[in-house]
Amino acid sequence: MEKTNVRYNRTMLVLVVILSAFVTMLNQTILSVAQPSIIDAFKVDLSTVQWLSTGYSLIGGILIPISAWMADRFNTKWLVTSSLGVFLVGSIVAAFSGNFTALLVGRLLQAVGGGVLSGLTMTILFSVYPKENRGTPTTLLGLVFGIAPAIGPTLGGYLVDNLGWHAIFGIVAPVVAIAFVLGLFFMADVVPHKATKLDFWSVVFSTVGFGGVLYGASMVSDYGWTNAHTLLPIVGGFVVIGLFIWRQLVVDDPMLNLKVFTSGNFTVAAIISAITQISMVAVEFVLPVYLQNARDLTALQSGLTLLPGAVVMFLLAPISGQLVQKNKGKQIVVFGIIVMALSTLLLSRLTLTTPIWELVAVYALRNVGLAFAMMPAGTLGMQGLTPDLISHGSAANNVVRQVGAAIGTAVLVSVMQSKATAASPSASLLKTDPAAYGHGMHLALVSGAQASLIIATIIGVVGVVFALALKQPKKNA
């Protein structure tokens, strides 16, 4: 392992990393409210527009495993700035697109840049902070994970309502440009390197395996679980992932070093990360649908309803980081997962008459749990890894989280849809009593949301079991 001995301004370097992490996460959450406008603008159907999200997830899922090899092999500054450059070009192409093809190309370019950046974030932060200060990355990433997903729908709703859908890409571009320029001046080659070759079959198995699972999961909402469109990619994807795992164990230079999973704490922490990601994505899918379709709020009003929860997570992120540094990591993860599960159970009791203030309060409570569980768990898992495994640990954790979230979200969405469909009133009621039909559809949607959130609660309880299995390092090592 070749160590780097470069001089750099850590504050400015970290600013580049945090800006990059923020803009990539914001970019994933800001799009959802713009889909109806894009459908209307280009006269395409919903399944076509969903490729803006599906394609982004596929590219990211393919590139994140490769990012570990990239971090080991290439100059950190070049990787970050070139990824930001690709992301910037994609944002500009999307913002000025005049047809859906151009928009999709721009979105996929964003995915290329964002996928590499996502894989590098934790690696860079753990490379520039000593072991005794590993709570600092927890704080910084907690801020990003807290604020970006919650302000995305709010900001997106405001932009779409007032400036049009192009603006959601246009507003991202200046932030990326700032990060790019700062990266040229302040990013440094901080990740230790080693001369490794990229194994061709590892790339093939990774691309086909993870790509297949993510694609199949994204199709569940359209085709269900038993249709060949979903079943074949998911089952085939997992088979090929098995080949990928085998390949990593037999080659001299694995693309993703699976030795990270010999650390029990890392494995448990990765599972917890996936569970918290499922909970976060599921609730942030279900609640906007409930607020907009069952309670008839606008996209902006829906986003504003969730904003206090983001503020709570933003405020608590520094506290969770400090507690990790004080060797309280396991305690706060257990506490956080319990709070997350209980608050999700409370959310599952939503009705058509639930006061909005009550929803705001419970959602904020849930974010208290996420603030104390998500990033601290990841930090505890990474603490036991040697420097040469940090990049692989970061990539592996991201892969587990992304695949777990994709499958988990697909399960929750399908539960919500099937329950809502079963509870829907007869179509004949629409002709005889439209008002009663509309009310019945609202009740059916609430029924689906409740069922989905109950499943999310059960997943949270499983998370409590894994959190109890975590081990607190004797030192912040």
What is the mean pLDDT of the segment spanning 3-11?
72
The pair phi, psi for residue 193, each rounded to 5°, is -115, 155
Give dist(CA 119, CA 62) in Å, integer: 11
Q: Mean pLDDT throughout 255-267?
A: 86
What integer pLDDT is reported at residue 477 of this predicted model?
46
Q: Into how many domains does the chain fold?
A: 3
Q: For residue 391, is it within any domain? A: yes
**Helix (H, G, I), strand (E, B), or coil: what is residue 165?**
coil
The reported pLDDT for the residue numbered 474 is 66
Residues 294 and 242 grouped into a single domain: no
Q: Are residues 180 and 230 in the same domain?
A: no
Instruction: Flag whether 194 is in a domain.
Output: no
Q: Can you give the residue range of the structural domain that contains 167?
A: 1-185
Residue 190 in any domain: the answer is no
- pLDDT confidence of residue 322: 77
What gap in Å lies between CA 227 and CA 160, rounded to an integer? 35
CA 433 to chain centre: 42
Q: Please indicate, yes or no, if residue 326 is contained in any of the structural domains.
A: yes
Q: Are residues 12 and 118 part of one domain?
A: yes
The DSSP bridge partners found for residue 193 are 2
Percentage with pLDDT > 70 across the chain: 95
Query: Residue 192: inside a domain, yes or no?
Result: no
Q: Are residues 2 and 134 in the same domain?
A: yes
pLDDT(476) > 70: no
Residue 69 lies in a domain: yes
Residue 4 pLDDT = 56
| Pair (165, 57) in one structural domain | yes
Q: What is the mean pLDDT of residues 81-91?
A: 96
pLDDT in tens, 124-135: 888 888 776 766
- Which of 185, 211, 227 is where one domain is finished? 185
**208 domain residue, yes or no:** yes
The CATH number assigned to the domain holding 138 equals 1.20.1250.20
| pTM for the full predicted model | 0.80
229 shares its domain with 308: no
- Same domain? For 244 and 170 the reply is no
DSSP letter at 132? G
If asked whether residues 205 and 60 sit together in one domain, one would say no
- Asked whether residue 327 falls in the same domain as residue 430, the answer is yes
pLDDT of residue 139 exceeding 80, the answer is: no
Same domain flag for 177 and 280: no
How far is it, in rounded angstroms, from Cα 39 to Cα 188? 42
Round to whole Å and give the CA distance between 405 and 226.
Answer: 20
The Cα 201–Cα 261 span in angstroms is 21
Mean predicted confidence (pLDDT) in 316-320: 80
144 and 6 housed in the same domain = yes
pLDDT tens, position by position, 276-302: 888 877 787 788 778 878 888 877 787
Comparing C-alpha atoms, which of 238, 251, 182 is closest to residue 206? 238
pLDDT tens-digit readout, 387-442: 778 878 888 888 888 777 777 777 887 788 788 888 888 877 877 888 888 888 88
Residue 450 pLDDT > 50, yes or no? yes
pLDDT at 149 over 80: no
- Among the listed residues 465, 56, 42, 15, the one whose alpha carbon sits nearest the alpha carbon of residue 272: 465
Tell me the average pLDDT across 314-321.
Answer: 79
What's the pLDDT tens digit per position in 9-39? 888 998 999 999 899 888 877 887 777 788 8
Query: Residue 47 has what pLDDT?
Result: 65
- The phi and psi torsions of 74 (rounded to 5 degrees) equal -115, 160
Q: Which of 234, 254, 274 is the last residue of a domain?
A: 254
398 & 249 share domain = no
pLDDT of residue 46: 60
- For residue 262, pLDDT beyond 80: yes
